[in-house]
Amino acid sequence: MNRTFEEINEKIKKGQAVVLTAEEVSRMAETHTPQEIFKQVDVVTTGTFSPMCSSGAIINFGHASPPIRMEKIEINDVEVYSGLAAVDAYIGATSESSKKSGYGGAHVIEELIAGNDVHLIAEAKGTDCYPRKYVDTYINKEKVNEFYLFNPRNAYQNYGVAVNGTKEVMYTYMGKLLPDFGNAMYATSGELSPLLNDPEMRTIGIGTRIYLCGAQGYIVWNGTQFNTRANTNDQGIPIAPARTIAVIGNAKEMDPSFIKAAYIEGYGVTLYVGIGIAIPIIDVDMARRVSVKNENIEAMIFDYGNGGRLPVGKTNYKVLWSGILELNGKRLKTGTLTSLRKSRQIAEKLKEQIASGDFTLTQPVERMPKNSILNKLEIRESDPENKSVVTKVCINCGSCIGVCPTNALFFNENDEVEFNKTLCTNCDQCLDACPVGLVKKEG
Ligand code: SF4
Ligand code: SF4
């Protein structure tokens, strides 16, 4: 590393950092070498505003009086995951309303960020410690304790171009695909795309501060379906869906103009997420990486018809951005799900924040995995006769050992609880101590 994060942050704090957007540095590269760019530029900002279905938000509603352990939750008739207890919930962007067509979790998240009231209904069986069984109320972002976005898979590093070789219109998450290769749809901001400006993720990792929907957020893990095995071009840039990031950020601080719910016809609800990542120019190699131009970023073309996603060709983002793609002698109109306008705004906003000293860079605390795991789901039909029975299992917590006055209960060499019946005085203290109700009096 020839320039450290600390040195760059010092310059940012003094208002001396030279910050360009990814498009600006690509233009600069037409007349400057990577060595010259390294000398002159400290940070390059990127941006994308695209549908990112694998998104959602954690909400803590606060405890009612008397309290409730929510087991079934709906917000604006959208099912919310309640398996976190007691008043924590996860609302997934693609969860759809049971009553209102075209409305879902993404819309609830958008409404909450905009400051609107939403309708909360929760049910529970009631327990001694959580006696309330029902809640019917209205919440907003000021009333709830926590409301933060936690998106398991965002900012795909490249993505395939979708076409349709069948005779029928297809409605997909890539939008409407016209029959007989009638159009081509893509969803990446090309040379502005965050992970395409640091294709090996040398400067981006766990702990990287990012621009997330108008607020400052963080990368917390590799995204799901993180793929290090995608084929690359001669510049080492993946030409197929590759790496992803899991991100987190305070939704209460987000700007509704950089997070939008959408309903994609024939597919369902999704959430447009705005992400910007600042790339520190730590050496000549990073200067070369951020100089990438649309014509150097290739993408595979997949036929979504005919039983799957068959590769039928390859193109680049200069062609895609031009609006016309030639495939097997046919001219296809291209369309994008990514808003280039908003992607540019995000890169500009991040640039302004860095230039004004409001956004400093964080060095990753951990690099992303070098090797990905990409298993396919194995389909094994269940046996209808095989009725599942929930069995109580000792969790070897040792609570019973703690209360046993005679050492009749003890840990063996494998750290498992054992029982020596000869030492037991039947005092019954372990009965009350066991949290899973495993210890039962015989007879
Ligand atoms: S009932 Fe037996 S095993 Fe249980 S706490 Fe009493 S002495 Fe120990
Ligand atoms: S208290 Fe219950 S769960 Fe815990 S170690 Fe004893 S028997 Fe197992």
The string of pLDDT tens digits covering residues 92-150 is 999 999 999 999 999 999 999 999 999 999 999 999 999 999 999 999 999 999 999 99
Backbone angles phi, psi at 110, to 5 degrees: -65, -45
Query: Is residue 251 a contact partner of residue 118, using CB atoms and an 8 Å limit?
Result: no
Q: Model confidence over 152-161: pLDDT tens digits?
A: 999 999 999 9
In 3D space, the residue among 174, 159, 50, 150 whose CA is nearest the CA of residue 93 turns out to be: 150
Query: Do residues 24 and 123 share a domain?
Result: no
| Nearest protein CA to atom 7 of ligand 1, as residue | 424
| Non-local CB neighbours of 365 within 8 Å, separated by 6+ positions | 205, 206, 207
Q: Which of 94, 124, 144 marks a domain boundary?
A: 144
* Percentage of residues in the chain having pLDDT higher than 70: 96
Q: How confident is the model at residue 443 (pLDDT cuts 50, 70, 90)?
A: very low
Query: Do residues 348 and 251 share a domain?
Result: yes
Where helices occur in 256-339 by DSSP H, the ranges are 284-290, 317-322
Q: What separation in Å is there between the alpha carbon of 255 and the centre of ligand 1?
A: 59
Ligand nearest to the CA of 405: 1
pLDDT of residue 334 exceeding 50, the answer is: yes
- Residue 107 belongs to a domain: yes
Query: Do residues 305 and 337 share a domain?
Result: yes
- Residue 361 belongs to a domain: no
User: Which pTM value belongs to this model?
Assistant: 0.90
Q: Is 433 in the pocket of ligand 2 (CB under 6 A)?
A: yes
- Residue 57 belongs to a domain: no
Tell me what pLDDT residue 163 has: 97
Query: Do residues 241 and 215 share a domain?
Result: yes
CATH for 393: 3.30.70.20
What does the pLDDT average to over 24-49? 98
Query: Do residues 69 and 41 share a domain?
Result: no
Query: Do residues 23 and 71 share a domain?
Result: no
- Residue 315 belongs to a domain: yes
Query: Do residues 250 and 394 share a domain?
Result: no
| Non-local CB neighbours of 167 within 8 Å, separated by 6+ positions | 179, 180
147 CB-contact burial (10 Å; exposed 0-12 / middle 13-18 / buried 19+): buried
Q: Which of 82, 112, 144 marks a domain boundary?
A: 144
Q: Is 408 in the pocket of ligand 1 (CB under 6 A)?
A: yes
Q: Which has more pLDDT, 415 or 65? A: 65
Q: How confident is the model at residue 184 (pLDDT cuts 50, 70, 90)?
A: very high
Query: Do residues 187 and 334 share a domain?
Result: yes
Query: Do residues 22 and 135 share a domain?
Result: no
Q: Which of 44-58, 82-96, 246-260, 383-397 has the lowest mean pLDDT?
A: 383-397
Tell me what pLDDT residue 350 has: 98
Identify the sign of the CA torsion 268, 343, 189, 166.
positive
- Residue 406 belongs to a domain: yes
SS3 of 333, please?
strand
In 3D space, the residue among 249, 266, 219 whose CA is nearest the CA of residue 367 turns out to be: 219
| Nearest-angstrom CA–CA distance, 354 and 46 | 12
Query: Is residue 179 a contact partner of residue 247, using CB atoms and an 8 Å limit?
Result: no
Task: Note every long-range contact of 384-392, with CB atoms under 8 Å and residues 24 or more positions apart, other chains counting.
Answer: 392/436, 392/437, 392/438
Query: Do residues 114 and 179 share a domain?
Result: no
pLDDT of residue 361 exceeding 60, the answer is: yes
Tell me what pLDDT residue 376 has: 81
Residues with a known catalytic role: 129
Structural domain count, the chain? 3
Concatenate the DSSP letters of all residues of 405-442 into one string. Answer: TTS-EEE-TTS-EEE-GGG-----HHHHH-TTS-----
Amino acid, single-letter form, for residue 391: T
What does the pLDDT average to over 418-440? 85
**Whole-number Cα distances in Å, 325 to 227, 289, 333, 334:** 27, 26, 6, 6
Which of the listed residues 427, 431, 434, 441 should we mutate to test ligand 1's pocket, taking the one with most ligand atoms within 8 A of CB? Answer: 427
What does the pLDDT average to over 49-73? 98
- Residue 44 belongs to a domain: yes
| Nearest-angstrom CA–CA distance, 314 and 385 | 49
Query: Do residues 118 and 228 share a domain?
Result: no
| Nearest-angstrom CA–CA distance, 9 and 60 | 35
| Nearest-angstrom CA–CA distance, 139 and 118 | 6
Q: How confident is the model at residue 442 (pLDDT cuts 50, 70, 90)?
A: very low
In terms of residue numbers, what domain contains 84? 62-144
What does the pLDDT average to over 202-209? 98
- Residue 368 belongs to a domain: no
Q: What separation in Å is there between the alpha carbon of 398 and the centre of ligand 2?
A: 6
Tell me what pLDDT residue 391 has: 64
Q: How confident is the model at residue 296 (pLDDT cuts 50, 70, 90)?
A: very high
Backbone angles phi, psi at 284, to 5 degrees: -65, -35
What does the pLDDT average to over 377-386? 72
In 3D space, the residue among 159, 137, 140 whose CA is nearest the CA of residue 70 turns out to be: 137
Query: Is residue 325 a contact partner of residue 315, using CB atoms and an 8 Å limit?
Result: yes
Mean pLDDT, the chain, integer: 94
What does the pLDDT average to over 78-98? 97
Q: Which of 112, 144, 176 marks a domain boundary?
A: 144
In 3D space, the residue among 70, 64, 13 whose CA is nearest the CA of residue 42 turns out to be: 13
Q: What separation in Å is there between the alpha carbon of 425 and the centre of ligand 1?
A: 6
Query: Do residues 437 and 327 share a domain?
Result: no
- Residue 367 belongs to a domain: no
- The DSSP code for 109 is H
pLDDT of residue 364 exceeding 60, the answer is: yes
